[in-house]
């Protein structure tokens, strides 16, 4: 295939997010905060960057298995598409269940549950390596004889379907809640309430949860997030914090035969010497305080502008990927990561982050100018780039003074 079907859905996703923000602004439910939403989108950007390099692995392995080890050759019919849809959903259920019950898999999935707000941007919040972890669960479909192209389209459908589930603005849907995964069912899945932990793991059909004992109806107010809140908007920290915890636990466990259990035991597991497995703490929706950092309008405007500009530059860079060497692609990816990390951590108002932002702006201007020169577009864009760079530096300087440094 020459394109990613999911890419066609991105404008629709963005439009739905903007619509939900408008509704939320006028409706007063306040399911959005700038800090949390940017962190969610930043995690999604890291996934897109990682996808550029991991897609070859994911699709390549599936194609290899299909080409050399397929038992049957299943043609493309409406019946085979329906069958593949059911089987893909079944495979997703077991991948998702493993992601909640196996420590290593949870490390690659926990990012999706860290948000303490629940809105459409949460769908974008994934770990940069999560596709490298989930694709082995779908290889049985290649063995059965479903072609790579069939699988890509079906998996895209499953992924796109899950986008609309991440909203508080759609209530219960009656009989549909007992057949399909719906916003009500998925709100339960994102709850840290003890009765909601590890429930409703299906992607499309909730019947898998009913068959295997993991279904829970939404019957009490949901407190979103994880039992040990991240308390950071940094997408890199979000991706790797849990693996760091696993490493610390590995070092603390005295017996070698127990150390390796960190990888496959459920989250919260501890050996008896360390007190045993952690209990899920109770939580009160009325008293729970979400993680928020104090901010001010000028800082919010600057961060939002830089975030949007970074997304535009990143999109242009991806459009020119065919003309750039691997080295330049890696440099561009590093700059985008640097930008979204700065944007999500400037809310801390730490001096080190402001110095990092100064450095990023200077390096970015130089790198982009060099690339524009090599692509023969220097004369067209240099003035705009200079205005952005100088304006951004002056803005950071003013913010630096306002914060009191």
Q: What is the pLDDT of residue 342?
A: 96
pTM summary value: 0.90
Convert the pLDDT of each residue in 143-176 to its tens digit: 999 999 999 999 999 999 999 999 999 999 999 9
Nearest-angstrom CA–CA distance, 196 and 227: 12
At 207 the pLDDT is 95
What sign does the CA torsion over 84, 86, 89, 93 have? negative
E strands, 135-290, where?
none
Q: What residues in the chain have per-residue pLDDT under 50?
A: none
Contact 371, 382 (CB under 8 A): no
Q: What is the dihedral of CA 294, 299, 305, 306, to 10 degrees?
A: -90
The burial class, CB within 10 Å (0-12 / 13-18 / 19+), for 190 is: buried
Task: State the Cα–Cα distance between residues 215 and 188, nearest whole angstrom.
Answer: 9
In sequence order, what are the residues at sequence separation of 6 or more whose Cβ sits closer than 8 angstroms to the Cβ of residue 86? Answer: 205
Per-residue confidence (pLDDT) for residue 4, from 0 to 100: 63
CA-angle at 187, arms to 6 and 263, nearest 5°? 75
Cα–Cα distance list, 108 to 124, 152, 235, 239 (Å): 14, 21, 13, 7
Token pair 């070859």 is at which residue?
Answer: 56
Number of CB atoms found within 10 A of residue 2's CB: 3
Distance, in Å, from the CA atom of 123 to the CA atom of 126, rounded to the nearest integer, reads 8
Q: Are 204 and 85 in contact (CB under 8 A)?
A: yes
Segment 374-378 long-range contacts (CB within 8 Å, at least 24 positions apart): 375/320, 375/323
Q: Give, for 372, the enclosing helix (H) or strand (E).
A: helix 351-374
DSSP character at residue 30:
-
| Angle formed by the axes of helices 34-69 and 148-161, nearest 10° | 160
Q: What is the distance between the alpha carbons of residues 324 and 41, in angstroms, rounded to a whole number?
A: 25
CB 218 within 8 A of CB 187: yes
């Amino acid at each position: 295939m020459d394109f990613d079907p999911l890419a066609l859905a991105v404008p629709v996703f963005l439009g739905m997010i903007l619509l939900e923000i408008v509704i939320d602004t006028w409706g007063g439910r306040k399911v959005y905060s700038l800090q949390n939403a940017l962190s969610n989108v930043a995690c999604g950007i890291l996934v897109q960057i990682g996808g550029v390099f991991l897609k070859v692995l994911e699709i390549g392995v599936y194609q290899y298995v299909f080409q050399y080890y397929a038992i049957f050759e299943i043609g493309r019919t409406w019946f085979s598409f329906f069958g593949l849809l059911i089987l893909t959903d079944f495979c997703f259920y077991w991948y998702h269940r493993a992601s909640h019950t196996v420590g290593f898999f949870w490390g690659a999935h926990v990012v999706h549950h860290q948000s303490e707000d629940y809105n459409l941007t949460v769908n974008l919040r994934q770990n940069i390596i999560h596709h490298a972890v989930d694709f082995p669960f779908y290889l049985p479909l290649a063995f059965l004889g479903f072609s790579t192209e069939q699988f890509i389209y079906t998996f895209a459908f499953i992924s796109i379907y899950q986008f609309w589930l991440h909203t508080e603005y759609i209530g219960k849907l009656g009989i549909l809640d007992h057949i399909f995964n719906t916003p009500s069912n998925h709100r339960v899945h994102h709850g840290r309430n003890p009765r909601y932990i590890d429930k409703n793991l299906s992607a499309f059909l909730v019947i898998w949860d009913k068959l295997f004992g993991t279904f829970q109806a939404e019957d009490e107010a949901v407190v979103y997030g994880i039992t040990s809140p991240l308390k950071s908007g940094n997408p890199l920290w979000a991706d790797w914090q849990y693996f760091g915890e696993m490493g610390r636990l590995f070092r603390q466990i005295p017996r070698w035969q127990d150390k390796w259990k960190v990888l496959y035991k459920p989250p919260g597991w501890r050996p008896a010497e360390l007190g045993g497995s952690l209990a899920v703490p109770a939580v009160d929706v009325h008293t729970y305080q979400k993680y928020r950092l104090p901010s001010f309008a000028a800082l919010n405007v600057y961060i939002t502008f830089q975030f949007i500009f970074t997304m535009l530059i990143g999109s242009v860079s991806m459009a020119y990927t065919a003309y750039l060497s691997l080295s330049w692609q890696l440099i561009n990816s590093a700059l985008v990561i640097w930008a979204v990390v700065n944007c999500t951590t400037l809310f801390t108002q730490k001096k080190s982050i402001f110095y990092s932002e100064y450095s990023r702006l200077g390096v970015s201007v130089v790198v982009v100018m060099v690339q524009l020169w090599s692509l023969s577009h220097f004369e067209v864009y240099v003035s705009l780039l200079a205005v952005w760079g100088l304006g951004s530096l002056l803005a950071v300087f003013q913010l630096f003074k306002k914060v009191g440094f």
